[in-house]
Amino acid sequence: GAVVSQHPSWVICKSGTSVKIECRSLDFQATTMFWYRQFPKQSLMLMATSNEGSKATYEQGVEKDKFLINHASLTLSTLTVTSAHPEDSSFYICSALWARRGRTGELFFGEGSRLTVL
Amino acid sequence: SQQGEEDPQALSIQEGENATMNCSYKTSINNLQWYRQNSGRGLVHLILIRSNEREKHSGRLRVTLDTSKKSSSLLITASRAADTASYFCATGGFGNEKLTFGTGTRLTIIP
């Protein structure tokens, strides 16, 4: 299957700093990637849809100035948590849509990035 | 918002027994998928069932879908310790359709 890589897998930062998380599709091109947040023992909540070459689409209640998404190439989307606070501590997971001609697109997930804000 | 509610929220069974998890959803669907998530890891796609299918098998997995009741079940037969994980149902996820996850079931297999 296709591989999606997230980096870093875990990060600890001080309150007020910004943290960037990368999501890369390693062996396919993804015009669309998705960012999810997961709190402990809870489900995944979609934060935003990242579209290559255009602005991300944010879900209701997600602050776009807080969670900056950039999808500058067909294999890379980044999520930057700006001015992080302890309540931003969470597990962030990306997925990439592999859309092949004549076939239904498939989603592949990264391994997630655990953010801890002190 | 969640599309699906799963029950039970947590399930512990002895190794070798069968595990059944249920998912109910709210809106009409084209397909329903099941994913597994090991603790602190990403998601692994298990199986997809289309809205015109009633049952699907994959190895030790059996999924059923009842569109009239807006519900699906995942059965894992002859459970193994390695099956310990959280299991999520999800709807959507194709084309530009957003993938929306259920609340999940935490399965623990006791050796």
What are the tens digits of pLDDT across the range A46-77? 999 998 888 999 999 999 999 999 998 999 99
Using a pLDDT cut of 90, give the percent of chain B over it. Answer: 76
More reliable by pLDDT, B28 or B108 = B108
Whose tokens are 């030790």? That residue is: B60
Whether residues A95 and B95 touch (CB distance < 8 A) is answered with no
Q: What are the angstrom distances between the C-alpha of A108 and each of A5, A26, A118? A: 10, 11, 31
> Residue B6 pLDDT more than 90?
no
User: Is B30 an 8 Å CB contact of chain A?
Assistant: no
What number is the average pLDDT over the span B28-47? 92
Q: Nearest chain A Cα to B106, which residue?
A: A41
| Model pLDDT, residue B2 | 52
Mean pLDDT, chain B, rounded, equals 91
- The number of helix segments (H) and strand segments (E) in chain A equals 0, 11
Chain segment B72-100, per-residue pLDDT in tens:
999 999 999 999 999 999 998 666 567 88
A84, with CB counted inside 10 A (0-12, 13-18, 19+), is: buried
What number is the average pLDDT over the span A72-95? 95
Chain segment A90-117, per-residue pLDDT in tens:
999 999 988 777 666 788 999 999 999 9
Out of A42, A45, A107, name the one closest to residue B93 (CB).
A107
